[in-house]
Structure 1
Amino acid sequence: MRWRLLSIVVFGFLVGALGGAAALIITQSASGPQVKTSGKALIGGPFTLVDQTGKTVTDKDFRGRYMLVFFGFTHCPDVCPAELQIMSQALTDLGPKASEVVPVFISLDPERDTPAAVGAYVKNFGDKFVGLTGSPEAVAAAAKAYRVTFSKFEYKDNSGKSDYSIDHSTIAYLMDKNGEYIAHFSYGTPAAEIAETLRRYL
């Protein structure tokens, strides 16, 4: 599929972006090993978008909580729903500590993904999910900050009617309470593995 190529491309961007956060420090605490990063990765940054209620939100509205961020679109036939379901399961596996993490879905298709559409979509994966959309410019700025690659392509359906889809990278990002990158998960990472990684950081 086309998204596989973009996953390879974005991996290259990700490796470069992580250059500033080369060191991982694992410490032992009463609750078990915890991981801290040293340095700063060039992933994440300011954004101004609109949530499923129509309210304008920025990255600062999530301060004090961890964010698990995934970019996609509501018409995605397989990758997005599969990944959001995995995120949902990972948070369920995490137990009470899941309250410290906000799962965030950012649409790459502002043409179709209105706040109402995004809201109805994320409800399928749990009431903790926040769905974000915005103007094409705002969405593109958020994607750029997170090193997310995406492109629109047109095609004809079985009836010959023109339609379009979105190719996009498929990485979920874990951001800390200050909005700084601390980890990422490739598409298909098992929910149990994501939950275990989250436990080490929380």
Structure 2
Amino acid sequence: MLKFIRYACLVLIVAIGGVWAHAWFTRAPGQDVGEAFAQRLASIFGQSMPVPNVGGGVQLPSGVSLGGPFSLTRQDGQAVTERDYAGKWMLLYFGYTYCPDVCPTELGRIADVLDAMGPAGEQVTPMMITIDPDRDTQAVMADYVSRFHPRMQGLTGTSEQVAEAARRFRVFYQKVQPREMNEYLMDHSSFIYLVGPDGRVRTLYRPETSVDDMARSVAMQMRSNASR
């Protein structure tokens, strides 16, 4: 029995070493060997392994799913649903145009990520969904998102439509009225969502995630998906 266990361990070590060597020699240009190794193991075990976390991205726990059906209106007046984005990658942010600080910062960071990715960034749709539909009309959204990236889309809708989309992504938001201000503000969670071609969130990025780390993470997710 002991000999069998030793033999099995030896076979396992040799097999892992073989997969590592294969990953080393067949990895894509610029791809980390650890990433390539994880992809090869995922292919062996039926794609059941998640892509490794990189640079501040939040991997969703097993069994947790974000994203799904929504029905909103794009800044050009076109009604859209999640089906209009099937097969596409998105970097999505929930914010509002009257936001004084974090929203413009995060949208600018999305634009920088796409630029940092080079040609691969053209495969990613940048998007903002408003959490303040009372003020963020189509015209307001069109002007606002155009300031950050020429391909950025801004989605708005009725209060009910926005609330449903936010619920799908588990976004917190509420109105707050500072005493010293006439206009209200919106208190809200602040994550950038990487949404895969299946309409589900692959990774969440915190505000402190650097542009370079996010660009590498998005590229890794896209390569992993393409190898399946």
Q: Same fold by TM (over 0.5)?
A: yes
Map 1:16-165 onto structure 2 (within 5 A).
Answer: 28=23, 29-31=27-29, 32=31, 33=35, 37=50, 41-157=64-180, 162-165=182-185
Deviations 1:125-184 (A, max 9, x none): 1111010010000000000100100000123446xxx32110000001101111112111
Structure whose alpha-carbon radius of gyration is higher: 2
**Equivalent residue, structure 2, for 1:23:** none
Letter in 2 for 1:105: M
**Bigger mean CA offset, 172-181 vs 149-158:** 149-158
Q: Distance in 2 between matches of 1:30 and 1:193?
A: 18
Match of 1:192 among 204, 212, 221: 212
* TM-score (normalizing by structure 1): 0.80
Q: What is the CA distance between 1:99 and its match in structure 2? A: 1.3
Q: What is the CA distance between 1:37 and its match in structure 2? A: 3.0
Q: What is the CA distance between 1:79 and its match in structure 2? A: 0.2
Could you say what secondary structure the match of 1:124 adopts? coil
Q: Distance in 1 between matches of 2:97 and 2:215?
A: 24
Q: Distance in 1 between matches of 2:192 and 2:147?
A: 18
Q: Distance in 2 between matches of 1:50 and 1:130?
A: 10
Higher RCO, 1 or 2 (CA under 8 Å, sep at least 6)?
1
Q: What is the CA distance between 1:64 and its match in structure 2? A: 1.4
**Equivalent residue, structure 2, for 1:170:** 190
Query: Structure 2 stretches of 5 or more lacking a match?
Result: 1-21, 40-48, 52-61, 223-228
Could you say what secondary structure the match of 2:198 adopts? coil
**Bigger mean CA offset, 171-180 vs 34-43:** 34-43
Q: Distance in 2 between matches of 1:106 and 1:146?
A: 11
Task: Give 1 or 2: higher helix fraction.
Answer: 2
CA RMSD of superposed structures (Å): 1.9
Query: Structure 1 stretches of 5 or more lacking a match?
Result: 1-26
**Equivalent residue, structure 2, for 1:5:** none
Contact kept, 8 Å, 1:156 with 1:163, in 2: the verdict is no
Percent identity, please: 35
